[in-house]
């Protein structure tokens, strides 16, 4: 859902100085970090066709303004959970070209003139491919990385040796620590911008939007698909193993179990006994120091996202992180150029940061330390 929101934001964004023109003449999509990238692209195309018929609608020229490419390989090395959303789609018959740096540069050139290029990385992408893009694409203005999961250069598993895990961690540190230098070597005026929910927004749930708001802007087919997000069932199943109180019984091992998914979807929308049971279980799991130590990211999500979602009267949200973060970056850039929207006051500011190169956990990206600003 958040990838759909991200593409919609870039297609809908109007030029701040002339709202009769789009901000982006072309939107080049590179599908990555999935085993079946063609099927993911098919799912995106299906969404855009539905969104063009929705009210309010996407621009009718979306097809002529988009280019579709795929990464040469899946940097994560395995299928990812959200591919389950598209498992019922028929196998696509169309070809999705490989996003070589030369091919991406050729797609940029189709915009004509000397186009300025903004890059938004909202999925994991191989470091080597990023460096090649820097070298081939002209006039990069900003490179935005929604930091965290999208920063990964692989997924370690139990079969990996300690040396292999250390090597992956080092690679991820190097990716982040050298991004700015590599970008500005070829594009001296370009800026690297990181965003992340806990740092960029005051509200830990800023990556989501209210369900009723989403229903105004997204087709119902996509709303129902997003409601069955395995994020929630996976988080609940993981937390359940660490709860001392109100542990859920008879739950499946698979977050895609249809019956359990339906139970969770209903509990998010209805003030029923299951909702209260899940909320109590999540609060219990949040007190587990073992959970916090072994799964710090999941523990954070239970505490700051899961518990609020299932507490009090139902007010379900849908994940729109990618779209929210791109919108925040674009609004900041408009404000910086003196073109902020009337009445807009929460456009934020950029803070300098330094990569902490000591991170040794391949499951986590290296942390960034905000530098103190001096007069």
pLDDT tens for residues 326-361? 999 999 999 888 876 655 555 677 777 777 777 777
Contact 49, 221 (CB under 8 A): no
Question: Cα(314)–Cα(121) distance, rounded to whole angstroms?
Answer: 33
Contact 248, 277 (CB under 8 A): yes
Q: Span 104-114, mean pLDDT?
A: 93
Top-confidence range, 136-145, 150-159, 252-261: 136-145
The pLDDT confidence band at residue 89, using thresholds 50, 70 and 90, is confident
pLDDT over 90 for what percent of the chain?
A: 67
Token pair in block for residue 275: 């909702």
Within the chain, residue ranges assigned H as helices are: 2-12, 37-53, 62-65, 101-109, 127-136, 162-186, 197-200, 211-217, 220-227, 230-240, 258-269, 273-286, 289-294, 296-301, 307-310, 321-336
* Mean local confidence (pLDDT), 225-233: 90
Instruction: Provide the pLDDT confidence category of residue 82 given band limits of 50, 70 and 90.
Output: confident
Please tell me which residue, 341 or 166, carries the higher pLDDT value: 166
Encode pLDDT of 4-31 as tens digits.
Answer: 999 999 999 999 999 999 999 999 999 9
- Predicted confidence at residue 370, as pLDDT, reads 58
Pairing verdict, β 353-355 and 368-370: antiparallel
Instruction: Tell me what pLDDT residue 375 has.
Output: 35
369 band by pLDDT with thresholds 50, 70 and 90: low
CB 54 within 8 A of CB 218: yes
Report, as an integer, the average pLDDT of 190-208. 80
Stretch 66-75: mean pLDDT: 96
Average pLDDT score over the chain: 90
Q: What is the DSSP letter of 348?
A: -
pLDDT at 364: 74
pLDDT digits (tens, 9 = 90+) for 266-308: 999 999 999 999 999 999 999 999 999 999 889 999 999 999 9
pLDDT for position 272: 96
Mean pLDDT on 63-69: 96
**Residue 205: pLDDT band by 50, 70, 90 thresholds?**
low
């Amino acid at each position: 859902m958040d990838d759909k929101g991200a593409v919609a934001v870039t297609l809908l964004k109007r030029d701040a100085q002339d709202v009769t023109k789009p901000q982006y003449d072309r939107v080049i999509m590179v599908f990555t970090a999935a085993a079946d990238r063609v099927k993911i692209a098919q799912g995106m195309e299906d969404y855009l066709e539905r969104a063009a018929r929705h009210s309010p609608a996407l621009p009718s020229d979306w097809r002529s303004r988009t280019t579709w490419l795929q990464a040469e390989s899946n940097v994560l090395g395995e299928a990812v959970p959200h591919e389950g959303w598209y498992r019922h789609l028929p196998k696509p018959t169309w070809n999705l070209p490989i996003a070589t740096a030369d091919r991406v540069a050729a797609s940029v050139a189709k915009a004509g003139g000397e186009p300025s290029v903004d890059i938004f990385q909202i999925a994991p992408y191989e470091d080597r491919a990023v460096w090649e893009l820097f070298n081939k694409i002209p006039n990069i203005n900003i490179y935005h990385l929604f930091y965290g999961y999208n920063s990964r250069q692989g997924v370690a598993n139990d079969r990996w040796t300690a040396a292999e895990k250390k090597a992956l961690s080092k690679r991820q540190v190097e990716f982040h620590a050298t991004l700015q230098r590599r970008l500005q070597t070829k594009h001296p005026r370009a800026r690297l911008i990181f965003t992340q929910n806990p740092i960029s927004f005051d509200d830990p749930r800023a990556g989501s939007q209210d369900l009723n708001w989403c229903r105004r802007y997204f087709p119902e087919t996509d709303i129902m698909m997003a409601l069955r997000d395995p994020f929630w069932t996976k988080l609940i199943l993981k937390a359940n193993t660490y709860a001392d109180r109100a542990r859920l019984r008879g739950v499946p091992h698979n977050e895609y179990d249809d019956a359990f998914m339906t139970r969770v979807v209903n509990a998010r929308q209805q003030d029923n006994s299951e909702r209260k049971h899940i909320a109590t279980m999540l609060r219990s799991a949040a007190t587990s120091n073992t959970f916090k130590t072994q799964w710090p990211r999941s523990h954070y999500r239970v505490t700051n996202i899961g518990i609020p979602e299932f507490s009090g009267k139902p007010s379900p949200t849908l994940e729109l992180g990618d779209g929210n973060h791109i919108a925040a970056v674009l609004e900041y850039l408009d404000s910086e150029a003196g073109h902020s929207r009337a009445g807009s006051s929460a456009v934020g500011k950029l803070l300098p940061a330094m990569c902490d190169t000591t991170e040794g956990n391949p499951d986590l990206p290296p942390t960034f330390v905000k530098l103190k600003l001096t007069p």
